[in-house]
Amino acid sequence: MTVPIIIGVDLGATNIEAAAVRDGEILKSKKKKTRPEKGIEAVLDRIEKTIRTVFEKMDAEASDFSAICIGAPGAVEEETGIVRSAPNLGWDNVPLGEALHDRFGIPVMVDNDVNVGVVGEHVHGAGKGALDMIGIFVGTGIGGGLIIDGAPHHGWRGAAGEIGHVIVKPHGRTCGCGRDGCVEAYASKTAMEAIIHEEMEKGRETEVFEIMEDKGKKKLTSSVIEASLEAEDLLMEEVLQNAQYYLGILTANLVNVLDPEIIVYGGGVVERLGESFLKPIERTARQHYLQRRGAEQIRIVPAELGDDAGPVGAAVVAQRRLRASVG
């Protein structure tokens, strides 16, 4: 039996990345802007075009691939391929799986983007070989996924891994979800930008917004954070330390509850800042979880696959589901 080649797709609010993947290796890939503001049909067209470009690069057609698997940024109903809710795309109840199946005629699987990325890091990235792993992705929001006894843990309703909404400070800052004190309200890029803005309004000095303008960015990106730290912006340093502190508390709590072998941190901020971002998180975490039975051996490491975690993980998810359906 030959190893199947699968089209793995990562659908983000900013970019679509599609790749032909064989056994964790990306053979060819293509990235396009998502442009969700143009509407659902336009996004579906852009996904199709991105995939067809990969076909061309492979000198192949749809029937040469075993399946398409796409990770979408929101709540997904895996059985039907419907994206129930993807706030960053402005999507509600979009039959993404069906739409792509109509366009390509081969099996299409849909899953949550973070779940898929965590599977990618587990099978082919930083978590290789671990039975119990937690993936934490720091970006515009904070996402996560759990690998328990070697398999993704989806939970009773398929809603497990909502670690961005773990409350780390009761009665704390209001989060985008409407609740107070979620870790996402301190440590996401969106939150860090809002906190810097609030502090500036209170009279604190900062160069962050000038740096943002100089770089032609409309929001606090990972590169703006990096440049602000290089400029030794005290407010940026303080806000980042605060974010790291609460991520450390989150990490400690997850260790005490789940006892994982490895915690993999990914997402734009981690990729940009690397170990210097993780070290303070690790320090706080180790101060706050129980030091028993080899606790010092728990690893807290950066993700290895970067943007490829999505397509590579999607290909793994597709292979597993193909196997499960053939019997």
From the list 46-54, 107-115, 220-228, 286-294, the region that binds a second copy by CB under 8 A is 286-294
Q: Which of 43, 109, 110, 163 binds a second copy (CB under 8 A)?
A: 163
Enumerate residues 62-81 that contact a second copy by CB under 8 A: 75
Q: Which of 44, 60, 229, 298 binds a second copy (CB under 8 A)?
A: 298
Taking CB under 8 A as the rule, does residue 161 contact a second copy? yes
CA distance 69 to 322: 11
Q: Name which of 130, 107, 181 is nearest 145 in CA terms.
A: 130
Binding segment for a second copy (CB under 8 A), chosen from 52-60, 86-94, 150-158, 197-205, is: 150-158
Q: Could you tell me which stretch among 16-24, 25-33, 100-108, 258-266 binds a second copy (CB under 8 A)?
A: 258-266
Task: Give CA–CA dist 16/42, Å, rounded.
Answer: 13
Question: Residue 80 Cβ, how far from a second copy at the closest point, in Å?
Answer: 13
322 interacts with a second copy by CB under 8 A: no
Classify burial at 167, counting beta carbons within 10 Å of its beta carbon; exposed 0-12, middle 13-18, buried 19 or more.
Answer: middle
Q: Is 260 in the site for a second copy (CB under 8 A)?
A: yes
CB 143 within 8 A of CB 151: no
- Can you read off the two tokens belonging to residue 49? 């075009």
Please say which residue, 104 or 137, places its beta carbon nearer to a second copy. 137
Closest approach of a second copy to the CB of residue 321, in Å: 17
For residue 21, the SS3 value is strand
Per CB under 8 A, does 169 bind a second copy? yes
- Please say whether the dihedral angle defined by the alpha carbons of residues 267, 271, 273 and 274, taken in this order, is positive or negative: positive
Say what the alpha-carbon torsion angle 243, 244, 245, 248 is, to the nearest 10 degrees. 130
Among 21, 146, 227, 269, binds a second copy (CB under 8 A): 146
Q: Nearest CA to 251 among 279, 277, 288?
A: 288
Measured CA to CA, the distance from residue 5 to residue 19 in angstroms comes to 10
Using the rule CB under 8 A, which residue among 22, 38, 179, 204 binds a second copy? Answer: 179
Q: Is residue 42 involved in binding a second copy (CB under 8 A)?
A: no
C-alpha distances out from residue 300 to 10, 23, 109, 254, Å: 25, 26, 31, 12
Binds a second copy by CB under 8 A, chosen from 26, 160, 229, 322: 160
**Interface with a second copy by CB under 8 A: which residues?**
75, 84-85, 130-132, 144, 146, 148-149, 153-163, 165-170, 177, 179, 245-246, 249, 252-254, 256-261, 287-290, 292-295, 297-298
